[in-house]
Amino acid sequence: MTAEPAAPKSKLILASASPRRLALLQQAGLEADALLPADIDETPHKGESPRALAVRLASEKATAAAKVRSAHDDLKQSYLLAADTVVAVGRRSLPKPETTEEAEECLQLLSGRQHRVYTAVSLINPRGFERKRLVEARLRFKRLSSMEVDAYLASGEWRGKAGGYAIQGLAGTFVVKLVGSYTAVVGLPLYETVSLLAGEGYPVLQPWFAKA
């Protein structure tokens, strides 16, 4: 009797170069077969809410990466995952600062106040169908002293981070209260991400058996 050929391994693409998102995938036992970071304009549209901004940017990243995917025969049947995180104070979306001045403004806005973090996940399956999830978390920072602000700015940890901070780093000491998904605040909500993948037929549990 001729043995049936083994089913091809499902491939996973992460449309990001973020080491945080890659590490979160690995925490869930998943390995990205390729990284296709998407370079898009992240400027909010006029009147665009933080929630809508996060969803739009995640979708645009996924769409841009899908165009690159289509040019690679070995990746055409892959699952493609993208995400974006927006930190908001009220209806104001905070930037991902690249200058000390921007980062300081973010910290002053967050100091002693509650804010929200929106992380959107976009998954494009091998058939080209897109599914999305949006996760909201609420946080409160302690009131930051001028010395704490100066020290955090000096650390450089804020650079390119949504809202000018990384909860998994030094800024974790600023968080008085968190309601919602910690992994969403870091940049990739694991429950929603794994649920999306499993719902589209990606074998999320298969790698777990290899760890036994």
In tens, the pLDDT along 19-37 reads: 999 999 999 999 999 999 9
User: What stretch of H or E contains 141?
Assistant: strand 130-141
Task: Tell me the DSSP string of 67-124.
Answer: HHHTT-TTTTT-EEEEEEEEEEETTEEP----SHHHHHHHHHHHTTSEEEEEEEEEEE
pLDDT tens-place string over residues 106-132: 999 999 999 999 999 999 999 999 999
Note whether 124 and 61 are within 8 A (CB): no
pLDDT of residue 3 exceeding 60: no
| Cα-only R_g, the chain | 19
CA–CA separation, 69 and 66 (whole Å):
5
The backbone torsions φ and ψ at residue 152, rounded to the nearest 5 degrees and listed phi first, read -70, -40
**Alpha helix segments (H runs only) across the chain:** 19-27, 50-69, 100-110, 146-155, 182-186, 190-199, 206-210
* Residue positions annotated with a catalytic role: 84
pLDDT of residue 1 exceeding 60: no
pLDDT of residue 32: 93
pTM of the predicted protein model: 0.92
pLDDT of residue 2: 43
User: What stretch of H or E contains 37?
Assistant: none
pLDDT of residue 208: 87
pLDDT of residue 88: 98
Residues 6+ apart with CB under 8 A from 93: 44, 48, 50, 53, 86, 87
CATH of 12-207 among 3.30.360.10, 3.20.10.10, 3.40.50.2300, 3.90.950.10: 3.90.950.10
Note whether 73 and 126 are within 8 A (CB): no
pLDDT tens-place string over residues 52-102: 999 999 999 999 999 999 888 888 889 999 999 999 999 999 999 999 999
Burial of 98 (0-12, 13-18, 19+ CB in 10 A): exposed
| Domain residue spans of the chain | 12-207
pLDDT of residue 7 exceeding 50: no
Residues in the chain: 212
pLDDT tens-place string over residues 126-169: 999 999 999 999 999 999 999 999 999 999 999 999 999 999 99
